[in-house]
Structure 1
Amino acid sequence: MLPFFTNPYPDELLYSAIARYHFYSGNLDCKDTLEELFDSRSVIPSVEIGSHFTNLVEKLGPQYSVEDLLTNHTIYSYYASFLSKQRQLEILEDVKNNGQALYTRLGIVAGGICRKEGLYYCALCAKTDSEKYGEPYIHREHQLQGISYCAHHEVPLREYPVTGGSRMQYIRFELRHMNLSDLYEVDPYEEIAIQLAKQAYKLLQIPLHSLTKIEISSMYKALLRKKNLITAANRVRQQDLYQMIKIGLSEELLTSYESDFNEEDEYNWVKVLTRNSTRHVHPLRHLLMLLYLKQDVGDLIVDNGPFGKGPYPCLNKAAGHYKKLSISSVEVTNDSKSKTPIGTFRCTCGFVYARKGPDSTVEDQYRIGRVKAFGPVWSRRLKELMGTGMSIRSIAKELGVDSKTVKKYAENPSRKSFSTVKSDRLETYRNDVSEIIRAQPQLTRTEIRNGLYKQYMYLYRYDKEWLMANLPIQRKHTEPNRLVDWNARDQEYVQRIKALHQQLLTIEKPVRITNSLIGKRLGITANLQRNLAKLPNTKALLDVITETVQSFQIRRCCKVIDRILEEDDVIKLWKVQRLAAVKSHHFHEIKDVLSKYIQQSQDVKRDEQQSI
């Protein structure tokens, strides 16, 4: 156990505490400090998280634990809530040991955005720390990818000047190297950046592993359901969501945070985030989604469906269990017009009721939209009350129905029970269907349904087995024997595709030209998928005009370059990359092509100006 250690300050990175220990211990060689803390001279200092925590905790003493250091003095909590339970456990083992797969499991290696290469600080935090503790230190919330403001003082972060490039070093903040002025550049996204910083800080305060990816996914479903972006089948209306995000956040903002997305990409971050995908989505993009949904990180809720989690109350006033939670499940369907969810609740007493959702308050679960069946318990109680001599209005109040309902069921005994009504109709409708089949045996199932629509639909709903057994044998559908002039169709498709191609090249926001896109736009997807071999000219044209991901990126960048030239502005490759929203590793692959295009475009423009 060490004789002393520089105990971490509130929200201080463990890296910073070790840097202060290295300074106060008087060690000249960083490897000496590593050996004292980790029993190893080959541990690589890590700003974000680190490894070999088991050895470190043994050195620091019983007042420290691996979980405490990981939760309160690393940036791990920024990522933890969006990981699966299995991945969380794996990372905990990585941190305890050599951490070999740590950053790969977190997704930082493959999915990093808005990366920070250096160390960052808030000038006001540095002043406050110096007054309170006698020295500034590295706050973990200031090192988060994508966060450029201090969540507490709402001012931009500044990069700390670092000398030397060795990986085997610990940087300690010193006030004399910091810019503490109160002059900052104007930021058009300042308000958004501050909101993101505050939400990111709240992520860091969430107890370790109290949330997992499954619960976060459920929370998104609850939030999207409130915006009517979830179908009755519990699927996300992706296209509607895309448009609403781009309107709510603006494409410029998404681009500035390296979070623009291609709607046709099967693995764009919005689709991955809202599906049960094993892929990782960067925490900043989760914060952008929550920003669009106007949801505070501290108030996330779990989705239990449009009618909440059961059991549900029986609302049969004639039953002894009235308002008690006796219904275990709900059947959810979609309203054909409004697309809102409709819940049907069936109790064992025979009472069946439905209402539109979603429920927004606890009181909503005691609301009836429509009674579908009263059941035998209700019918018996009605009969009992009718024998007491009570007035119709009093009986209606006792049973929780309208006076007309009491009259209807009291005067017509056949309606006292839903099952009786059903039985009477079944017999009549069976006879109707049997009679039309006997009289006109040549009729098809569709013709019988059209002729006896009411009877057919009732039997289909309540006695499908009898209906299917007695209808004529279903005839197999055969394709009409048509002769297709594939040459003519080939020429037609070529002309239509050429016209569409010109339109796609001129639209303001470029889209990648693919077989799928052309097929959808022209309504010829089936032939492009199944009969392309019969359309040789169409196939040859598609081979020429369709784009790979890289060629599409080049076209996007060239479009940006042309716009900059028109504005007589200076062309800088970093600016082209940002405006075209191309990731750095992809941009590196096309940089040479773009440089040649810029040179050629500038030469052409210069020649035109000289000729004038």
Structure 2
Amino acid sequence: MMNFLPILYEDEVLYSVVARYKRMCGMISKTALIRDVFGGKTAFKSTLFPQHLNKLIENLPCNSKIEVHELIRNHTPINFYTAFLSNQHSKTVVDGMIKGKGTGIEALVGIAGSKVKLNDYLKVCPKCFIEDNEHLGESYWRRSHQIVGALFCLKHEVPLVNSKVGCSDNIVDFICADEDVCDLENILITNYSEEIKRLNLKYLRNVFYLLNVNEERKDLSFINNYYIDRLREKNLASKSGNLYIKDLVTAFVNYYPIEYLNLMQSAIDINNETNWLRLFVRNNNKNRSPLRHLLLLEFLGLEVADLFNCSSAVGRIPSKSNRKPIYELSERRSKWIKLIQDNQGATRAELKVIGKGLHTWIIAHDRIWYEEVTPKIRKRENKKAVIDWNQRDEECLRLAKEAVKTLLNNDGKPIRIVPASIRRAAGVKRWFLHKKLSKTWEYLLAVTEDINSYRIRKIKWAIAELMEKQGKATVYQVQLYAGFGGNNKEIKLTIEQFL
């Protein structure tokens, strides 16, 4: 059981709390830290979306009044990422954080497969950092600064800057927000235009509402209907609710500067029929990024609170008219057969474009016959490889070699040389370990460190550190300093060989 817990600062992410606890206790070993915090060997992999929080709560001091839902609500960004999910889906996500889940929370909230990616590094506000150190004697990682799309600090209205600490789903270590990783004097601060600042601050005010105020959840069908109603009011949808897609895309692109859409990972090619905005307003069950929900609401001139305070939405209105066809069925069929014969080899999609009005009529009035006579959609040709794997292999091999040098020359506690640690040191995503990178994999397997070699390297490092600090080292001290614990007899014998 933990003897104490650091004060939880306002808007502080749980990762930051654990990092400060580690520093207060003088811990070096991540494994020992996790055991101390969770009362056992529990994985804390994600910077922003921790799991097994029930174990952490059970392991808090007896007089602690912290409740698990309070911890999730106030010290993780989950309110933002589940804001546009249903009540049931949101509950599943929260249960996963409390009890643990086989998959990452990122996958449950739709981040893993989204085009809108999380930040690569934890961000910090220069003014918050200075104020924290003046009033608290230390600074901390704020969750509002880590929200995807956050370019500014809402409090000080200054641009955020990247720290040196990675924000990932596979934590290497727990690192505090201090001067070593927030080198503000040598960081080049981006100068954004006043228009980008205005748009982003408005975005951040909606983010604040989702993080701190909103607890409502709406089904996706309600949200889609709400959007259709508002688009109808702006003459971007018909009275029946059919969207004027081209007009919508054009108006959206004209509203936002191209630079801002790029910064928000939401650039739009108006000539591409599969751009994200076209797909976003379709009525399907796919998760949408909350960032893009807020962009659409902002475009519509709405606050996010307007959506969640709304109690009813109409959406599309089905046509009730039973119009009789002007032409005879046989005449329409003859025209469709002729169209097929005149365009041999055309796919259904191509036939739809060629015979636009005819196709719509046949589908509405004679669908079974259409399915019988119209050629099936041909299989798509295999897409040409857009990745030059040989070139990528050479580049990854270079990155791997540099990463291994970095790991071996690391001044702190040794990190085991394995493919995962090499990838993290290289600062790249999981594609780095793709099986098509044959030369890279050959190198990774060649330099992978077996457990005994790694233990010996840690032992030598611990002995050198202790000798430098206090001029002597005992077996027990080396065991603890290297993070082995004091009860491993095999390690004890190995240490004796090097003392």
TM-score by length of 1: 0.51
In structure 2, relative to structure 1, the CA distance for the partners of 1:535 and 1:104 (3 Å cut) is: closer
Identify the residue that residue 196 of structure 1 maps to in structure 2.
203
Identify the residue that residue 243 of structure 1 maps to in structure 2.
250
Cα shift at 1:73 = 0.4
Q: Is the contact made by 1:49 and 1:76 (CA closer than 8 Å) also made in structure 2?
A: yes
Q: Give the 3-state SS of the residue equivalent to 1:258 in structure 2.
A: coil
Identify the residue that residue 283 of structure 1 maps to in structure 2.
290
In structure 2, relative to structure 1, the CA distance for the partners of 1:2 and 1:523 (3 Å cut) is: closer
Match of 1:73 among 72, 75, 83: 75
Match of 1:120 among 123, 127, 135: 123
Identify the residue that residue 302 of structure 1 maps to in structure 2.
310
Match of 2:161 among 158, 167, 170: 158
| Aligned counterparts, 1:318-357, within 5 A | none
Residue identity in the other structure for 1:82? F
Identify the residue that residue 408 of structure 2 maps to in structure 1.
none
Cα shift at 1:220 = 2.6
Q: State how far apart, in whole Å, the 1-side matches of 2:134 and 2:248 are.
A: 48
In structure 2, relative to structure 1, the CA distance for the partners of 1:27 and 1:274 (3 Å cut) is: same
Q: Give the 3-state SS of the residue equivalent to 1:108 in structure 2.
A: coil
Identify the residue that residue 114 of structure 2 maps to in structure 1.
111
Identify the residue that residue 604 of structure 1 maps to in structure 2.
none
Cα shift at 1:282 = 0.8
Match of 1:185 among 163, 175, 190: 190
| Aligned counterparts, 1:118-267, within 5 A | 118-162=121-165, 167-181=171-185, 184-188=189-193, 189-210=196-217, 213=220, 215-249=222-256, 253-261=260-268
- Deviation string, structure 1 residues 355-397 (Cα, Å, up to 9, x no partner): xxxxxxxxxxxxxxxxxxxxxxxxxxxxxxxxxxxxxxxxxxx
- Deviation string, structure 1 residues 296-352 (Cα, Å, up to 9, x no partner): 223434263579xxxxxxxxxxxxxxxxxxxxxxxx899x9xxxxxxxxxxxxxxxx
In structure 2, relative to structure 1, the CA distance for the partners of 1:145 and 1:207 (3 Å cut) is: same
In structure 2, relative to structure 1, the CA distance for the partners of 1:36 and 1:304 (3 Å cut) is: same
Cα shift at 1:9 = 0.3
Cα shift at 1:154 = 2.1
Cα shift at 1:212 = 5.2
Q: State how far apart, in whole Å, the 2-side matches of 1:488 and 1:517 are.
A: 10
Q: Is the contact made by 1:121 and 1:138 (CA closer than 8 Å) also made in structure 2?
A: yes
Structure 2 spans left out of the alignment, 5+ residues: 364-368, 388-428, 438-499
Cα shift at 1:197 = 3.0
Identify the residue that residue 516 of structure 1 maps to in structure 2.
349
In structure 2, relative to structure 1, the CA distance for the partners of 1:152 and 1:485 (3 Å cut) is: closer
Residue identity in the other structure for 1:206? V
- Deviation string, structure 1 residues 464-499 (Cα, Å, up to 9, x no partner): xxxx9xxxxx99754399799979985xx79xx9xx
Q: Is the contact made by 1:31 and 1:168 (CA closer than 8 Å) also made in structure 2?
A: no
Identify the residue that residue 418 of structure 1 maps to in structure 2.
none
Q: Is the contact made by 2:249 and 2:278 (CA closer than 8 Å) also made in structure 1?
A: no
Residue identity in the other structure for 1:172? C
Cα shift at 1:552 = 11
| Aligned counterparts, 1:90-105, within 5 A | 90-101=92-103, 102-105=105-108
Q: Is the contact made by 1:114 and 1:257 (CA closer than 8 Å) also made in structure 2?
A: no
Q: Give the 3-state SS of the residue equivalent to 1:160 in structure 2.
A: strand
Residue identity in the other structure for 1:58? E
| Aligned counterparts, 1:370-389, within 5 A | none
Q: Is the contact made by 1:136 and 1:175 (CA closer than 8 Å) also made in structure 2?
A: no
Q: State how far apart, in whole Å, the 1-side matches of 2:349 and 2:332 are.
A: 27
In structure 2, relative to structure 1, the CA distance for the partners of 1:2 and 1:265 (3 Å cut) is: same
In structure 2, relative to structure 1, the CA distance for the partners of 1:273 and 1:479 (3 Å cut) is: closer
Q: State how far apart, in whole Å, the 2-side matches of 1:132 and 1:214 are.
A: 47
In structure 2, relative to structure 1, the CA distance for the partners of 1:29 and 1:234 (3 Å cut) is: same
Q: State how far apart, in whole Å, the 2-side matches of 1:6 and 1:485 are.
A: 76
Q: State how far apart, in whole Å, the 2-side matches of 1:83 and 1:49 are.
A: 16
Q: Is the contact made by 1:248 and 1:292 (CA closer than 8 Å) also made in structure 2?
A: yes
Cα shift at 1:18 = 0.7
Cα shift at 1:53 = 0.9
Cα shift at 1:5 = 0.4
Which deviates more from structure 2 when the two are superposed, residues 138-147 or residues 224-233? Answer: 224-233
Which deviates more from structure 2 when the two are superposed, residues 293-302 or residues 207-216? Answer: 207-216
Q: State how far apart, in whole Å, the 1-side matches of 2:240 and 2:271 are.
A: 22
Q: Give the 3-state SS of the residue equivalent to 1:2 in structure 2.
A: coil
Q: Is the contact made by 1:81 and 1:216 (CA closer than 8 Å) also made in structure 2?
A: no
Q: Give the 3-state SS of the residue equivalent to 2:59 in structure 1.
A: helix
Q: Give the 3-state SS of the residue equivalent to 2:112 in structure 1.
A: helix
Q: Is the contact made by 1:222 and 1:304 (CA closer than 8 Å) also made in structure 2?
A: no
Identify the residue that residue 331 of structure 2 maps to in structure 1.
479
Cα shift at 1:36 = 1.7
Which deviates more from structure 2 when the two are superposed, residues 244-253 or residues 150-159? Answer: 244-253
Cα shift at 1:139 = 0.4
RMSD: 4.9
Q: Is the contact made by 1:218 and 1:303 (CA closer than 8 Å) also made in structure 2?
A: no
Cα shift at 1:155 = 2.0
Asked if 1:82 is matched to 2:89, the reply is no
Identify the residue that residue 26 of structure 1 maps to in structure 2.
26
Q: Is the contact made by 2:81 and 2:290 (CA closer than 8 Å) also made in structure 1?
A: yes
Q: State how far apart, in whole Å, the 2-side matches of 1:111 and 1:333 are.
A: 32
Q: Give the 3-state SS of the residue equivalent to 2:156 in structure 1.
A: coil
- Deviation string, structure 1 residues 210-262 (Cα, Å, up to 9, x no partner): 55545544543443243134444445444432332223225564344332457
In structure 2, relative to structure 1, the CA distance for the partners of 1:553 and 1:294 (3 Å cut) is: farther
Structure 1 or 2, whichever has the larger Rg, is: 1
Q: Give the 3-state SS of the residue equivalent to 1:120 in structure 2.
A: strand
TM-score by length of 2: 0.61
Q: State how far apart, in whole Å, the 2-side matches of 1:84 and 1:253 are.
A: 29
Tell me: higher relative CO, structure 1 or 2? Use CA pairs within 8 A at least 6 residues apart: 2
Q: Is the contact made by 2:245 and 2:278 (CA closer than 8 Å) also made in structure 1?
A: yes
Identity score, percent:
24
Residue identity in the other structure for 1:289? L
Q: Is the contact made by 1:229 and 1:241 (CA closer than 8 Å) also made in structure 2?
A: yes
Number of residue pairs aligned between Structure 1 and Structure 2: 375
Residue identity in the other structure for 1:202? Y
In structure 2, relative to structure 1, the CA distance for the partners of 1:202 and 1:520 (3 Å cut) is: same
Q: State how far apart, in whole Å, the 1-side matches of 2:312 and 2:339 are.
A: 56
Q: State how far apart, in whole Å, the 1-side matches of 2:223 and 2:179 are.
A: 40
Cα shift at 1:156 = 2.0
Q: State how far apart, in whole Å, the 2-side matches of 1:55 and 1:256 are.
A: 38
Q: State how far apart, in whole Å, the 1-side matches of 2:97 and 2:298 are.
A: 31
Cα shift at 1:56 = 1.1
Residue identity in the other structure for 1:88? S
Q: State how far apart, in whole Å, the 2-side matches of 1:224 and 1:290 are.
A: 10
Residue identity in the other structure for 2:290? P
